[in-house]
Amino acid sequence: MPTNATLQPAFAEHELSRKPARGSSPVLTLAAALLGFALITLDASVVNVALPAIGGDLGGGMSGLQWVVDAYTLAFAALMLSTGAFADRIGPAKAYALGIVVFTLASAACGLAPDLGVLIGARVVQGVAAAVVLPASLALVRQAYPDPARRARAVALWAAGGSVAVALGPVAGGALTTVWDWRGIFFVNLPLGVAALALTTRAPRAARRPAPLDLPGQLTAAVALAALAFAVIEQGAVRIVAGVVALTAGVAFRLVELRAAHPVVPLGLFRSRAVTVSIGAGAAASVAFYGVVFVFSLYFQRVRGESALTAGLMFLPMTVLIPVMNVLSGKLSNRFGPRIPMLMGQLTALAGLLALLLVDGHTPTLLAAFLMVPLALGCGLSVPALTAAMMEALPPERAGLAAGVLNAGRQVAGALSIAVFGSLVAGGAGFVPGLRVSLLASAALFAVSALATLRTRKDLA
């Protein structure tokens, strides 16, 4: 769930010149960065409403539909830890252009996919490209605006693009699926990708930096996350083997990080109580938000029998309020510190999840849509505040690293929630009982995170 304060990726600080490079255009550079960021953010949510149509066309059952979403999210999350350093090594403009080209080509492959396996493979490539685009796009904005005040406004506009994309994602997915076809949600990326690439020609070129890469750490992290998703989504012997692989890769990751000169995730970060509480609270918010959007996309169409367009519109009341709550959260954090808006948001989201337990197979569609609003209010209020708490807990020179770890954790939590919740609603007990178990699990996570926030008075003040 991107917000105005959450999607600051892990990348090393670039040396900013006093003046923009000759021939470059700050406005066009910002437009390129905003368009690319909105594009990759949109693709994380636009596909949810199209899932029933994809399943009807390509088959694959619930596990296949889960992989259509998680293949993108897991690749995005796993590589987000290292792609900032990669952008430093080849230069942000080149990294951004490379990411946009690969993302656009992968989108074409998704739209042309003849079967579910090809679609899932292309979604992985999309996620890899998105992980490159995100840090490079923000680095471009930072370079285009050397003046701190103008840069702050530019970064705020860049981040707002993500919030708008979140709000439009389900609606755009429903509209494209209804008017065109599910393949339209991927083909629409082609002209947008070309436009973003064209705008990049006016972006400033920066000198390369020898940023260190922890390839063993990155590899073991990616294997552990992918195997964990397999263990949750798949059945039978595959689940057992995947669980063993996930455990082994997780242990290997820890050993690698303890010995690495430049670890992709310095384990010392977790000695700070504010850091652990912020990461836990962010994970709880992602589990609830992404999990609810996933299962209710299916609920509106499979249980209530609504069209893809109607299902997409039902998310508008909740998503349109997220940017508003982001702004309010920033103001409250500036005045009272991050702890108060964090706690207010967590309790509001918790109440919203409990209210959603009233939903059953006969609940009017519009009522179900409005019952999701408190969850969005709570997440929109708490996530920027917990991000601020994470940043304040660490020295300024580690802010990029902290943001990368926080957002990677949130993306992973969202991906795993889709895996778990999808399995629950597809279980033998039925869709609605599985939905309620999913909501109760999300509520329990929010309750624990709220209690942790309440007890961390000194660190989050």
Instruction: Report DSSP letters for 339-395, one per residue.
Output: HHHHHHHHHHHHHHHHHGGG--TTS-HHHHHHHTHHHHHHHHHHHHHHHHHHHHTS-
pLDDT for the residue 460 = 62
- Taking the C-alpha atoms of residue 5 and residue 95, their distance in angstroms, rounded to an integer, is 23
Residue type for 273, please?
R
- Taking the C-alpha atoms of residue 196 and residue 161, their distance in angstroms, rounded to an integer, is 14
- Taking the C-alpha atoms of residue 421 and residue 427, their distance in angstroms, rounded to an integer, is 10
Residue 22 scores a pLDDT above 60: no
Q: Decide yes or no: CATH 2.40.30.10 for domain 269-461.
A: no
pLDDT in tens, 214-265: 788 878 888 888 888 778 777 778 788 988 998 998 899 889 888 887 787 7
- Give pTM, 2 decimals: 0.77
Residue 12 scores a pLDDT above 50: no
Give the torsion through C-alpha atoms of 154, 155, 161, 164, to 10 deg.
Answer: -110
pLDDT for the residue 62 = 82
Whether the Cβ atoms of residue 119 and residue 68 lie closer than 8 Å to each other = yes
- Taking the C-alpha atoms of residue 46 and residue 107, their distance in angstroms, rounded to an integer, is 13
- Taking the C-alpha atoms of residue 49 and residue 176, their distance in angstroms, rounded to an integer, is 10
Q: How far is CA 373 from CA 376, 378, 450, in A?
A: 5, 9, 19
53-62 burial, b for 16+ CB within 10 Å, e for fewer?
Answer: bbbebbebeb
- Count Cα neighbours of 97 within 13 Å in the Cβ-side half-sphere: 14
Q: The domain 1-203: what is its CATH number?
A: 1.20.1250.20
Q: How many helices (H) and strands (E) does the chain have?
A: 21, 0
Per the rule left: phi > 0, alpha: psi between -120 and 50, beta: everything else, 60 is left
pLDDT for the residue 448 = 94
Identical topology for domains 1-203 and 269-461: yes
- Taking the C-alpha atoms of residue 135 and residue 24, their distance in angstroms, rounded to an integer, is 19
pLDDT in tens, 338-384: 888 899 999 999 999 999 999 998 999 999 999 999 999 998 888 88
pLDDT for the residue 194 = 93
State whether residue 315 is helix, strand or coil: coil
Q: Show me where the domains of the chain are located.
A: 1-203, 214-261, 269-461
Query: Which pair of structure tokens corresponds to residue 2?
Result: 């991107």
Nearby residues of 95 by Cβ (< 8 Å), 6 or more positions away: 83, 86, 87, 132, 135, 136, 139
- Taking the C-alpha atoms of residue 229 and residue 347, their distance in angstroms, rounded to an integer, is 29
pLDDT in tens, 191-216: 999 999 988 886 766 555 565 677 88
pLDDT in tens, 105-155: 999 999 999 999 999 999 999 999 998 888 888 778 877 777 777 776 777
